Structure 1
Amino acid sequence: MILYNVTVNVEDSIHKDWLNWMKETHIPDVMKTGMFKENKILKLLSKLPEEQGTTYAIQYFCNSLEDLENYQQNFAPKLQEDHVKRYGNKAIAFRTILEEV
């Protein structure tokens, strides 16, 4: 099992809209690609006093690296572009790939 983890720090000014858009639009669009079997959205509870905003980990599970590579090549650019157009630098993401052992 492969985990594609997208960690996003979201500014307070857009937090409510961002979370709703992720749950109602973006995550369903990612799942419609057929490359992932399951997803979870988690909120980071531990943060340093100087940290701003709220941080989330959106986890997408797929069966193989081939499925993930297919997603990254054929679907991710458009979906990520939609996110950047809507939120710009108010929701900053970074991605990691993990393998279940």
Structure 2
Amino acid sequence: MIIYNVTIKVETSVADKWVQWMKEEHINDMMNTGLFSDYRMCKLMEQDEAEGVTFVVQYHTDSIENYQSYVNEHAPKMRQKGLSKFADKMVAFRTVMEVIN
């Protein structure tokens, strides 16, 4: 299994609005690509929140090919939607992991 991991620091002033957008729109858009089988959204705890609240969203997929399809066909549009709504109120970085059991 491949996990596409997105870590986002969101300014406190828009954190609730951002979470609502994620739950109502963005995660649904991600899952509707058909490339991911599951997801998990978490808030990091025991973090200094002076500069914002940190969240982690993990999208699970069965193959690196599905992840590559997402990157090539959907990622620019998805990222632009977030930037158009929250622009300078958030910063994100992305990692890809392979589950080893």
TM bin, normalised by shorter chain, reads over 0.9
Deviation at 1:48, TM superposition (A): 3.6
Matched residue, 2:53: 54
Equivalent AA in structure 2 for residue 30 of structure 1: M
Question: Is 2:89 the counterpart of 1:79?
Answer: no
2:36 maps to what in 1?
36
Total equivalences in the alignment: 100
Gaps of at least 5 residues in structure 1 are none
Partner of 2:94: 95
Q: Specify the SS of the correspondent of 2:54.
A: strand
Q: What secondary structure is seen at the aligned counterpart in 1 of 2:72?
A: helix
Task: Please state if 1:66 is matched with 2:53.
Answer: no
Q: Pairwise CA RMSD of aligned residues?
A: 1.0
Per-residue deviation at 1:75? Answer: 0.6
Q: Distance in 2 between matches of 1:79 and 1:48?
A: 28
TM-score, with structure 1 as normaliser: 0.95
SS in 2 for 1:34: coil
Match of 1:9 in 2: 9
C-alpha distance in 2 between matches for 1:77 and 1:37: 20
Moved over 6 A (4+): none
Q: How many percent identity over aligned positions?
A: 39
- TM-score w.r.t. structure 2 length? 0.95
Report Cα offsets for 1:4-34 as digits up to 9, x if no partner.
Answer: 0000000011111100000000000000000
